[in-house]
Structure 1
Amino acid sequence: MTLQKLFLTFFGAGLSPKAPGTAGTLASLPVGLAVLHYFGMETLFMLTFAITIIGIFEINKYENLTGEHDQQEIVIDEAAGMWLSLMIASSTAATMSYPYADVLAIILSFAAFRLFDIWKPSTIGWIDREVKGGLGVMMDDVIAGIAGGFLTVVIMMGVERLF
């Protein structure tokens, strides 16, 4: 396996025979949590920014090489989206006063990101259909990650009102 394919499949997670997007998201979650815990939000943000920019260029090269757009094995976009959702949710969980807010943030950020990534409503779907190349592959997941993070925040704020 080439270094490029290792990067684009998030260390092979995208090669899963079933649900490669979910496998890529699940594989990226513990990495994001570890970076968040040991190095902080700023580092995870910079890592997300870096893999998004690098991902756009590497996906363009890979698509030119294979002749196919948005292949299922490419899951580096899921990592970027998951990490954005996680950062938004975690920063809100830190302000919550109820127990297990951080655990709820992790679970909900994963579920909400997958919801928007699979459903692809509104702008997310338009980007997925109309924007070609690496930019389209990465940006629909970046927007899905932001939307997933915001949905998680709304749910967590609702839960806090119950307690």
Structure 2
Amino acid sequence: MNRAPASVWRNPVHFLAFGLGSGAAPWAPGTVGTLAAIPFFLLMQPLALPWYAAILLLTSVVGIYLCGKTSDDMGVHDHGGIVWDEFVGYWLTMFAAPPGWLWIIIGFVLFRLFDIIKPWPISWADKKVAGGLGIMLDDILAGLMALACLQLLALFL
């Protein structure tokens, strides 16, 4: 069972790293964190692609700090409750996705699949890259792989 530290509710950096508290879920915090990213995606979806891309870049860079700082403060590398990386990975998956709930669900499933299974190079990044960059990088790679699959599905369906 995942146990979130009390600082998640008091420290704004930890609160953001824990996906606005969604990472404090007692079971499957990564999945809950990805679900919590969906409402934000719905707000971002109508944006022009350059604005969406800018948000992805900004949230990725900020995420390196948030995740690294929270991990250092907790003394645990990539605590299961740190889910900002899932937020960004899901938003990356959904870049230029077709509209509709079917695609939101497909993107969710693809992202979670790549994030859980961690095929190469995701597994390499997860094991070899440390700090906030390491926490973010494996989910960014999972998001890129899920994005490629989602776009291929959209092309052929």
Q: What is the aligned-residue RMSD (CA, Å)?
A: 1.5
Moved more, 54-63 or 126-135: 54-63
Structure 2: distance between partners of 1:119 and 1:52 = 22
Moved more, 133-142 or 54-63: 54-63
Q: Does 1:18 align with 2:27?
A: yes
Q: Is the 8 A contact 2:68 2:135 kept in 1?
A: no
Instruction: Give the alignment partner of residue 136 of structure 2, picking from 131, 135, 138.
Output: 138
1:9-88 → structure 2 map (5 Å cutoff): 9-37=18-46, 39-88=47-96
The alpha-carbon deviation at position 34 of structure 1 amounts to 1.2
Q: Is the 8 A contact 1:81 1:145 kept in 2?
A: yes
Q: Is the 8 A contact 2:14 2:66 kept in 1?
A: no
Runs of 4+ in 1 over 4 A off after TM superposition: none
Q: Is the 8 A contact 1:20 1:75 kept in 2?
A: yes
Structure 1: distance between partners of 2:45 and 2:51 = 7
Structure 1: distance between partners of 2:36 and 2:52 = 15
Q: Does 1:121 align with 2:129?
A: no
Q: Is the 8 A contact 1:32 1:44 kept in 2?
A: no
Cα deviation digits, residues 8-61 of structure 1 (max 9, x gap): 011100000111001110000111121222x33333322221121111122222
Aligned residues: 148
SS at match of 1:87: coil
Which ranges of structure 2 fall in alignment gaps of 5 or more residues? 1-9
Q: Is the 8 A contact 1:25 1:79 kept in 2?
A: yes
The alpha-carbon deviation at position 63 of structure 1 amounts to 2.3
* Aligned-partner residue type, residue 10 of structure 1: G
Moved more, 64-73 or 17-26: 64-73
Larger-Rg structure = 1
Equivalent in the alignment of 1:106: 104
Percent identical pairs in the alignment equals: 34
The alpha-carbon deviation at position 108 of structure 1 amounts to 1.1
Q: Is the 8 A contact 2:64 2:136 kept in 1?
A: yes
Which ranges of structure 1 fall in alignment gaps of 5 or more residues? 94-100
Structure 1: distance between partners of 2:66 and 2:19 = 13
